[in-house]
Structure 1
Amino acid sequence: MTELVLRSKAHWGYDADFIEACREELTLRPADLTPDRVFVAERSGNAVGIAALSRDLPPTGALNLLYVDPSAIGHGVGGRLFAHACAIARAAGFARLTIDADPHAEPFYLSRGAVRIGETPSGSIPGRMLPLLAVDLGDRAPAEP
């Protein structure tokens, strides 16, 4: 799953040094993959996307990650993962999710109802700031596309 995440990140044109600098932060460990908060999209038995919610307690949680394999970008996988994560969060009592977004992914989240609420420092690249977004789940989670 870590390699899927790194391939997805590299899709945006980041060079090998940048991806290597992000490797530690983006490495998924067994403890990160709890079945009640991690969702994997598959196509023909192969993982093509992953999303994960934080282990926070309601009412505010975080979408910790959402990555789609480059072969599946543009085919609705990310939208379905996002909608599913929001629905699960809403059912668990969350009213809001925050998202530390890659700048290239910000338009994706904005198109699904998220709003920019600030910036947050990158966990991998000193001095780099990332868009901090939030999506209010309200009475229903964002719909699948």
Structure 2
Amino acid sequence: MMIEITKANTHDYRVLTDITKKSKAYWGYSDEQMRKWSDLLTITEEYIQNNEVYKLIINQSIVAYYSYFEIEKNSVRLDNLFVSPENIGKGYGKLLMNDFILKIKKSEAQRIILDADPNAQKFYESFGFVKIGEIGTSIKDRFLPIMELKL
């Protein structure tokens, strides 16, 4: 099996959007909610140009990706980390997180911040992230944990 993590190209936007939407839907959100989130879950060519986006390729197919950007001198925001539903639970999310954290440790950043889907909070905690707050969402009584990892 050929596994590679490499920088995404602008022409990957459709595949990355497809992975994002299918992965989000995996957690049982309604079709109506998924439609409401459609724009938020769309990865554009411009987004790929303006952010750090890395894709996981297995046997020449993109199966997962992550993206991040600097928010201030010593902080980065993990903006996305999605694995295609048929590949969830195979360790690819962990592989991407390890790659991401290693990249950030080589930079000047001293902390990583992210807004986690509630379903992913335990995943991020397993890497040492701690909840430092929460933000409300468009779904009543649903909050996204704001999480931080100090390096």
TM range (shorter): 0.7 to 0.9
Runs of 4+ in 1 over 4 A off after TM superposition: none
Equivalences for 1:55-70 in 2 at 5 Å?
55-70=70-85
- 3-state SS of the aligned residue for 1:104? helix
What TM-score results when the alignment is normalised by the length of structure 2?
A: 0.82
When the two chains are superposed, the root-mean-square deviation of aligned CA atoms in Å is: 1.7
Partner of 2:41: 26
Which runs of no fewer than 5 residues in structure 1 stay unpaired?
Answer: 138-145
Once the two structures are superposed, what CA deviation does each residue of 1:21-65 show, in whole Å capped at 9, x if it has no partner? Answer: 111111111121149711101111111111001143431111001
Q: Provide the C-alpha distance between the structure 1 equivalents of 2:68 and 2:129, rounded to a whole number of angstroms.
A: 15
Partner of 1:88: 103
What TM-score results when the alignment is normalised by the length of structure 1?
A: 0.85
What percent identity do the matched residue pairs reach?
A: 28
Relative distance call for 1:35 and 1:77 in structure 2 (3 A) is: farther
**Is the Cα contact below 8 Å between 2:65 and 2:82 reproduced in 1?**
yes
Once the two structures are superposed, what CA deviation does each residue of 1:79-117 show, in whole Å capped at 9, x if it has no partner? Answer: 111111111122121111111000001010011111111
Size of the alignment, in residue pairs? 135
**Is the Cα contact below 8 Å between 2:51 and 2:67 reproduced in 1?**
no
Q: Provide the C-alpha distance between the structure 1 equivalents of 2:130 and 2:57, rounded to a whole number of angstroms.
A: 29
